[in-house]
Amino acid sequence: MSSPSPSSAPVAGGAAAPCTSRVSVAEAVREAVAQGLVGAGEPAAGFVDVQGVRDTVDDLHRAFAHVPRVLHTFAAKACSLVPVLRLLAETGMGCEVASPGELRVALDAGFPCDRIVLDSPAKTRQEIAEALALGVSLNADNLDELRRVDALRPPHSTSVLGLRVNPQVGGGAIGAMSTATAGSKFGVALRDPGARRQVVEAFAARPWLTRLHAHVGSQGCPLELIAAGLAAAHHLAEEINARVGRRQVTSLDLGGGLPVNFADDTVSPTYPEYVAALEAAEPALLDGRYAVVTEFGRSLLAKNGFIAARVEYVKEAGGRRIALTHAGAHLATRTVFMPESWPLRVSAFAPDGRPKQAPPVRQDVAGPCCFAGDVVAHDRELPELSEDDVVVLHDTGAYYFSTPWSYNSFPRPAVYGYAAHRDGVGFAVVRSAQSVQEISRESGLDQADALLATGTAPSPT
């Protein structure tokens, strides 16, 4: 499959600057269908609202405007597409990465090394050495990792080095998204016997260790829980500095984790509400004594993107109406496997890309994956869907089309950015649709005969 070429001017960079007005989802869908970006040849695509991203970043900066020293980073895992990351870099964001691949795309997107933070619970020695050589900031996950840093740190490293701690303040409504539970795999568990003392002594033994990192969770975690965990990190920083007799800990990495409202278009909670919760839990947290790092991801991108997919068939089964589309578990993995925790709003559009006006009926919206549970919306009241209609999955700008699952070897869909222009809606290719030839190459085509003579070929180097 090859992506159609958008006919409008580019939406970011280049000679044709976009307007600052927002394009509605309905306008974007109508124009995308008209241009063939979604339809018979391209049954599914992802879309990024460029002005929406800019506006959300502006909201974040305004909420923290009174904080003297703050670095806002974007969690690359939420949308690891280089053009999106480059857009964020252009807005003044830094980047939080958690793997060698994310570090590579952050560098390729143009983030300066001193605005990149590496977090991961399982960094190899090679990853640590590379980060230290580049001057990328690094948060060690545990005390054993600190000992690796001891051995690998260059004498004049410019990396800001920190330690992640788990304040063990509890979990939110989604266990898998809660990282400050008693048994979390992340960080040094502060309430375990002897752990707090070990952390304080680790800082005392390492004058170059100047940052504390904590992250309580994301979706399903209330602001009060998040704030309690970050206040605990602040109290620990004060304890460390008192123990060593100087301000050794100079910055706090507050992680990310702002939940997103998937029920409607309302942004809730907001960044000002997040800031207010932090200051209520610990008034000194944002007063400037410590530099602050944030690592927001989902809250910056989720509501600034959507998936559009063609309805291929509609059938009746057991008294249920089922629309089979091209957006299933390969694009909405969390929603399919945990629908109660990750519900998505679905809208119906006619084949011409205009909102569908048919009478509403209760129906399932299913995907193309070859297992029975591949359903993105169960028993949902929508205008009666028909073949060639288009469905839109809202609030999917983070974690959905940017990191698809390769189940059934479905190709990765094209992704487009869109924004308003004087001549209408402009689109730019963020990622081209994957071809079946590319799938085959990724599946070992160049080594097709490798197993026919097992044991006779030389070992890989």
User: What phi and psi, each to the nearest 5 degrees, are found at residue 39?
Assistant: 160, -155
Min mean pLDDT across 9-18, 39-48, 438-447 is at 9-18
Please indicate, yes or no, whether residues 329 and 256 belong to a single structural domain of this protein.
no
Say yes or no to pLDDT of 8 above 60. no
Please give the average per-residue pLDDT across 122-132, as a whole number. 97
Q: What is the pLDDT of residue 444?
A: 97
Please indicate, yes or no, whether residues 354 and 433 belong to a single structural domain of this protein.
yes
Please indicate, yes or no, whether residues 179 and 150 belong to a single structural domain of this protein.
yes
Please give the average per-residue pLDDT across 19-27, as a whole number. 89
Write out pLDDT tens, residues 364-403.
Answer: 999 999 999 999 999 999 999 999 999 999 999 999 999 9
Question: 24-28, 215-219, 422-426: which has the highest mean pLDDT?
Answer: 24-28
C-alpha distances out from residue 213 to 141, 198, 253, 256, 278, Å: 9, 16, 4, 11, 15
Say yes or no to pLDDT of 460 above 80. no
Q: What is the pLDDT of residue 148?
A: 97
Please give the average per-residue pLDDT across 75-85, as a whole number. 97
Q: What is the pLDDT of residue 30?
A: 97
In a domain, 57, yes or no: yes
Please indicate, yes or no, whether residues 175 and 58 belong to a single structural domain of this protein.
yes
Q: What is the pLDDT of residue 73?
A: 98
C-alpha distances out from residue 231 to 48, 163, 279, 307, 402, Å: 35, 16, 9, 38, 33
Please indicate, yes or no, whether residues 258 and 333 belong to a single structural domain of this protein.
no
In a domain, 379, yes or no: yes
Indicate which CATH number applies to the domain containing 101: 3.20.20.10
Say yes or no to pLDDT of 1 above 70. no
Please indicate, yes or no, whether residues 290 and 387 belong to a single structural domain of this protein.
no
Last residue of a domain, one of 271, 301, 331: 301
Last residue of a domain, one of 301, 322, 344: 301
Please give the average per-residue pLDDT across 277-289, as a whole number. 95
User: Mean pLDDT, the chain, as a whole number?
Assistant: 92
Say yes or no to pLDDT of 348 above 90. yes
Q: Give how many domains the chain has, as a whole number.
A: 2
Min mean pLDDT across 101-115, 280-294, 349-363, 445-459 is at 445-459
Say yes or no to pLDDT of 3 above 60. no
In a domain, 452, yes or no: no
| Upstream peptide bond of 269 is cis (omega within 30 degrees of 0) | yes
Who's near 187: CB < 8 A, 6+ residues apart? 141, 142, 163, 164, 165, 166, 179, 213, 214, 215
Share of the chain above pLDDT 90, in %: 81
pTM of the model: 0.93
Q: What is the pLDDT of residue 12?
A: 47
| pLDDT-derived band at 448, boundaries 50, 70, 90 | very high
Please indicate, yes or no, whether residues 198 and 292 belong to a single structural domain of this protein.
yes
* Alpha carbons 404 and 184: distance in angstroms, whole number: 26
Q: What is the pLDDT of residue 11?
A: 61
Determine the structural domain holding residue 397 and report its residue range: 25-49+303-442
| pLDDT-derived band at 303, boundaries 50, 70, 90 | very high
In a domain, 12, yes or no: no
| pLDDT-derived band at 166, boundaries 50, 70, 90 | confident
Please indicate, yes or no, whether residues 284 and 390 belong to a single structural domain of this protein.
no
Please indicate, yes or no, whether residues 309 and 291 belong to a single structural domain of this protein.
no
Please indicate, yes or no, whether residues 411 and 393 belong to a single structural domain of this protein.
yes
In a domain, 460, yes or no: no
Indicate which CATH number applies to the domain containing 320: 2.40.37.10
Burial class (CB in 10 A: 0-12, 13-18, 19+), 315: exposed
In a domain, 378, yes or no: yes
* Alpha carbons 175 and 219: distance in angstroms, whole number: 10
Please give the average per-residue pLDDT across 252-275, as a whole number. 92
Give the residue with greater pLDDT, 347 vs 461.
Answer: 347
Please indicate, yes or no, whether residues 88 and 184 belong to a single structural domain of this protein.
yes
Write out pLDDT tens, residues 209-233.
Answer: 999 999 887 766 788 888 888 999 9
In a domain, 63, yes or no: yes
Please indicate, yes or no, whether residues 32 and 148 belong to a single structural domain of this protein.
no
Last residue of a domain, one of 279, 301, 323: 301
Min mean pLDDT across 27-36, 146-155, 164-173, 310-319 is at 164-173
In a domain, 218, yes or no: yes
* Alpha carbons 357 and 131: distance in angstroms, whole number: 54
* Alpha carbons 222 and 290: distance in angstroms, whole number: 24
Q: What is the pLDDT of residue 13?
A: 44
Q: What is the pLDDT of residue 146?
A: 97
